[in-house]
Amino acid sequence: MKVGLLGAGKTGSKVAELHTDTVIFTKNNPPTTADFDACDVVISFIPGDIFLEYIPQLMKSKTPVVTGATGFEWPANIEKQLKDNNQKWIRSHNFSLGMNLVKAMIEVLAKVDQLYDKTSFSIHDIHHVHKKDAPSGTALSWQKWLGHIAEISAERTGEVVGYHHLEMDSPMEKIKITHEAKDRAIFAAGALWAAQKIHNDQNIEAGLIDFDQLVQHYLNI
């Protein structure tokens, strides 16, 4: 599988380390549509505002895309366009495979009202100082999975790869769920796993697919 890599920063560079058949595109080596066509899958870890500029070119190429771009709004008609073009794109704020196990835990915790009369929730995320969006997209996803109002806070410090913490507090019990990314390689590994799936699995339908839905499909959860 030949991978075209957009964004060779701290996370993107891990893709190239883990997968030798990777072509890196940068400002000094910008991709043409033909370059994208020559790849089996494009993996992108560039900022959202820059990724937006590449969308028309990527759609013209029709090469499958795996993107971790954050901090931007997707075009309103992107889903229809991808389906019309028979293109498969995978998106995620967090490509940790383990995060999908956490999602299953949070969805169980979401049923807390069946057991408790009074609860409160808080979510805290910690990332490196270079991360622009706060709270993180993952923290916002956790609240969405939880389905309850939660106090969300964010901290940007040092070179922290990624830390997310959820607490449920009740008068007599407290439940905590924590996920800590120890190495950026987990995001690269997850993106490569997704790339392999959309490259090899013909049963995956065209469209804009959330990474967590893809993983849970294979986990059957």
Instruction: Assess whether 24 and 79 both reside in one domain.
Output: yes
Q: How many structural domains comprise the chain?
A: 2
Instruction: Assess whether 109 and 78 both reside in one domain.
Output: no
Instruction: Assess whether 7 and 89 both reside in one domain.
Output: yes
Of 19, 93, 127, 179, which is the active-site residue?
127
What token pair was written down for 55? 């969308």
Share of the chain above pLDDT 90, in %: 86
Query: Residue 82: pLDDT band by 50, 70, 90 thresholds?
Result: very high
In this prediction the pTM is 0.82
What token pair was written down for 45? 């870890």
The CATH number assigned to the domain holding 9 equals: 3.40.50.720
Residue 71 confidence (pLDDT): 82
Instruction: Assess whether 29 and 7 both reside in one domain.
Output: yes
The CATH number assigned to the domain holding 104 equals: 3.30.360.10
Q: Average of pLDDT values for 9-30? A: 92
What token pair was written down for 109? 């915790």
Q: Is the pLDDT of residue 28 over 90?
A: no
Q: Give the domain range for residue 25.
A: 3-95+185-219
Instruction: Assess whether 84 and 55 both reside in one domain.
Output: yes
CA distance linking residue 107 with residue 212, whole number of Å: 13
CA distance linking residue 187 with residue 91, whole number of Å: 12
Residue 216 confidence (pLDDT): 85
Told to judge if 88 belongs to the known catalytic residues of this protein, a careful annotator would answer: no
Told to judge if 131 belongs to the known catalytic residues of this protein, a careful annotator would answer: yes
Of 10, 62, 83, 131, which is the active-site residue?
131
Return the percent helix, strand and coil in the chain, to nearest 5.
40, 25, 40
Instruction: Assess whether 91 and 200 both reside in one domain.
Output: yes
Q: What is the pLDDT of residues 57-80, one digit of tens each?
A: 999 999 999 999 988 899 999 999
Q: Is the pLDDT of residue 120 over 80?
A: yes
Task: For residue 161, give the 3-state DSSP assignment.
Answer: coil
Residue 221 confidence (pLDDT): 64
